[in-house]
Amino acid sequence: MTALARGGTYPLRIDKLGVVVAALGLFALVFQSFLIFRANRIVPGEAVPAWDAMGAGGVALYAGLGVALLVLLLKTPLAVRLAVSSIALVALALAVGIGSSALIPEGDTYARVSPGSGVWIMVFAFALALTDALARLRLGPFTRVGILIAVALVLWGILASGLWDDLAVMREYQSRQSAFFAQLQIHLFLAFGAVTAAVVVGVPVGIVCYRIPRVRAGILGSLNVVQTVPSIALFGLLIAPMAWVGANIPGARELGIGGIGYAPAFLALFAYSLLPIVSNTVVGLDGVPRDANEAARGMGMTDSQRMTGVLLPLAFPVILTGIRIILVQNIGLAVIAGLIGGGGLGTFVFQGISQTAMPLVLLGAIPAVAMAFAAAIVLDAGVELSQGRQRARP
């Protein structure tokens, strides 16, 4: 098969990932629902095609998405793939809002409209193509963070415009707005606070393991044992000791420490965070070139001066990689805190599961996924920048 381009013919080649993207997208377009309408939040939903919700606009949307899938199926320039994937995702976001507003009768506060499985599959397919294009373009760290900020601004603009106000997940948010921000603050405290505490404790422990090799195996082995305990089991195991602390240590109960609540959740996340920090600190220090260490020793620097002025700065990219791992991990694990009354976004997830209310589950799950994704991009950029500064040093 050939195509005319600039007066010549060039073979049209199939992109391997494009085959997967096109297959997923075509399956979603043909066989899956676009929107799900419910008369209230608990009754079974009714699948609604895009053209029933949006009329001719729905037909135009599907035609445009079909063209986008064809472009992604073929080997096209990466900039084109990036633009096509981005436009398709924005079009889906706008269409879902327009369709939901069209389906809900005016003044009806009980009806619920959710994106159908076809929307979720198409979002996954185009996001996969978008991520692949970004990875193959090898963009710099500032560019990646800039794209993240641009995406956040687009989402903020859609939310501020009220376009999504009739979606079921937004209606759940509107009825729980104050509770949502309170639980979001708890979630941030659990995830970021546990990471901060793990860095404060883990880096010195890693330095000890580096300086005293004979204790390294014992410390890392003990932390490995903690890492193998299932998260739900560890959260549960900490209930009894935290209850004892709250009952017997003066002032502990006033601080909120007890058998359930944020205390066992925080301690569990802290325990899970220690191994990556300690091990990455050891690996980073072990990886410092011997010549750099000896040169610092030859300059008359003391052990502490060499540690703070040479070894730790050179090991910083590896330590930051460990921080990235545990921060993304903790943002997800903090959801489980909702099971033991620890609060956080998991509160909405488990309420939604118990009530069979998927929009309520999404109210907790989507922000957690978004935070983990953003944290990974920002810290990846930080790792790359720190490595670049080291390579730039004479």
The answer to whether residues 69 and 22 touch, using CB atoms and an 8 Å cutoff, is yes
37 forms beta bridges with: 46, 113
| Averaged pLDDT score across all residues of the chain | 86
pLDDT more than 90, % of the chain? 47
Spatial CA neighbour of 138 closest among 80, 79, 85, 74: 79
pLDDT at 321 over 80: yes
Dihedral class, residue 341 (left if φ above 0, else alpha if ψ from -120 to 50, else beta) = left
pLDDT computed for residue 256 by the predictor? 66
Question: Is residue 43 very low, low, confident or very high in pLDDT (cuts 50, 70, 90)?
Answer: confident
Q: Kindly state the average pLDDT of the residues 280-290.
A: 88
pLDDT computed for residue 243 by the predictor? 76
pLDDT computed for residue 27 by the predictor? 95
pLDDT computed for residue 182 by the predictor? 92
Tens of pLDDT, residues 129-169: 999 999 898 888 899 999 999 999 999 999 999 999 999 99
pLDDT at 388 over 90: no
Dihedral class, residue 18 (left if φ above 0, else alpha if ψ from -120 to 50, else beta) = alpha
Q: Provide CB contacts within 8 A for 58, sequence distance 6+.
A: 34, 49, 50, 51, 52, 95, 99
pLDDT computed for residue 2 by the predictor? 44
Q: Kindly state the average pLDDT of the residues 276-284.
A: 92
CA 374/CA 115 separation, integer angstroms: 23
pLDDT computed for residue 319 by the predictor? 92
CA 153/CA 165 separation, integer angstroms: 17
Question: Is residue 1 very low, low, confident or very high in pLDDT (cuts 50, 70, 90)?
Answer: very low
Q: Are strands 2-5 and 8-11 parallel, antiparallel or unpaired?
A: antiparallel
pLDDT at 4 over 60: no
315 forms beta bridges with: none
Question: What token pair was written down for 90?
Answer: 């924005």
CA 371/CA 219 separation, integer angstroms: 31
pLDDT computed for residue 93 by the predictor? 94
In 10 A of CB 79, how many CB atoms?
10
pLDDT computed for residue 294 by the predictor? 76
Question: Is residue 67 very low, low, confident or very high in pLDDT (cuts 50, 70, 90)?
Answer: very high
pLDDT at 300 over 90: no
In 10 A of CB 94, how many CB atoms?
16
Question: What token pair was written down for 256?
Answer: 């909120």
Question: What token pair was written down for 141?
Answer: 């760290």
CA 30/CA 50 separation, integer angstroms: 11
Question: Is residue 393 very low, low, confident or very high in pLDDT (cuts 50, 70, 90)?
Answer: low
The answer to whether residues 49 and 97 touch, using CB atoms and an 8 Å cutoff, is no
Tens of pLDDT, residues 329-366: 999 888 988 877 778 898 999 988 888 788 899 999 99
pLDDT computed for residue 306 by the predictor? 81
48 forms beta bridges with: 35
Which span out of 164-173, 241-250, 300-309, 380-389 was modeled with the highest average pLDDT?
164-173
Q: Is 9 helix (H, G, I), strand (E, B) or coil?
A: strand
Tens of pLDDT, residues 100-118: 999 888 877 788 899 999 9
pLDDT computed for residue 28 by the predictor? 94
pLDDT at 199 over 80: yes
pLDDT at 394 over 60: no
Q: Kindly state the average pLDDT of the residues 256-283.
A: 84
Which range (37-41, 82-86, 298-302) has the least confidence?
A: 298-302
